[in-house]
Amino acid sequence: MDRTELKNRLREERNSTLNKIPPDFYKRVQEYIIELENEIKKINNPRSMESKMLEDELESAVIDVENIFIHRIKKITSYAKSHAFSKNPSKHDLDKLLPEEKKVYNSILSAIHTSHQELIEPVTNPDARDNNKQVEYTATESSVSENPVDDVEVSKENQTATTYREPLESEYSNINKNETNTSPNSKNDINEEYVVVRVLKDIPTFKAVDNRNYTLYSEDVVVLPAPNANGLVKRNAVQLIDIN
């Protein structure tokens, strides 16, 4: 991997076509960036011309690989939306996706299908109405707080607190234990819009408004329920990715 190859890849990803990407692409970019970092350390003189040139190359490489990633996510999202309601969706381009990208595609497709089933089918299909009755939640019956943007469960001892805080390492086990006790069937009772976000810092496991457990790591790109995503954006923990 070098600067020219990275620039060429970025140029290719700027068009609307979903291109096949080498399986080891991101690994090779990582190795390239590490090599630049090591060369800068060896020079050990940030004022030298050589060091400045390497730092510029390093900064450019980081920006380029992030832009490549965003371009691909936008196309993957568009691809999933275009195939969501197709009776015979083409699977031709799926072999162009990395395994991690296929997870994004499948998550978006699943979110669209779930929303359609919960919102549209009861309107258009009489048989579906009995199976999709709305469940009335009260404060004692629902695991979703009245303020959905703060619906990040911290611990059973602190359920009244809705503001997210970084749990101590010693509290992780309590968080995981409390969240896994949620009934798996309850996730079908919640209608929420999903959005794509980039994670800016590690976030311990929490239960979202769809009653699913999420553990997020820095630089992950994931699909989250909009209320939880908005709450994490306010805390500068995630960044929304515009897919329009």
In a domain, 124, yes or no: no
In a domain, 168, yes or no: yes
Within this chain, do residues 160 and 228 fall inside the same structural domain, yes or no?
yes
pTM of the model: 0.52
Q: What whole-number distance in Å separates Cα of residue 22 and Cα of residue 15?
A: 18
102, 136, 165: which is the final residue of a domain? 102
Per-residue pLDDT of the chain (244 residues; tens, 9 = 90+): 899 999 999 999 999 888 899 999 999 999 999 999 999 999 999 889 999 999 999 999 999 999 999 999 999 998 888 888 776 666 777 889 999 999 998 999 888 888 888 888 888 887 766 655 543 333 333 333 434 334 333 333 333 333 334 433 333 333 333 333 333 333 333 334 888 888 998 898 888 888 888 888 888 888 889 999 999 999 889 888 876 5
Within this chain, do residues 82 and 150 fall inside the same structural domain, yes or no?
no
2 vs 46, 62, 66, 71, 130, CA distance in Å? 22, 12, 16, 20, 59
Burial class (CB in 10 A: 0-12, 13-18, 19+), 75: buried
Within this chain, do residues 92 and 182 fall inside the same structural domain, yes or no?
no
Say how many residues make up the chain.
244
Taking the CA of residue 115 as centre, how many other CA atoms within 13 Å lie in the half-sphere pointing to its CB? 15
In a domain, 129, yes or no: no
In a domain, 63, yes or no: yes
Q: What whole-number distance in Å separates Cα of residue 56 and Cα of residue 118?
A: 50
Per-residue tokens: 179: 């969240």
Q: What whole-number distance in Å separates Cα of residue 152 and Cα of residue 205?
A: 9
Within this chain, do residues 232 and 165 fall inside the same structural domain, yes or no?
yes
Indicate which CATH number applies to the domain containing 180.
Answer: 3.40.5.50
In a domain, 120, yes or no: no
Residue 186 is part of which domain span?
Answer: 146-240
Q: What whole-number distance in Å separates Cα of residue 28 and Cα of residue 213?
A: 32
pLDDT for the residue numbered 24: 95
In a domain, 114, yes or no: no
Burial class (CB in 10 A: 0-12, 13-18, 19+), 112: middle
Indicate which CATH number applies to the domain containing 11.
Answer: 1.20.58
In a domain, 151, yes or no: yes
In a domain, 128, yes or no: no
Specify which residues 198 forms β-bridges with.
221, 239
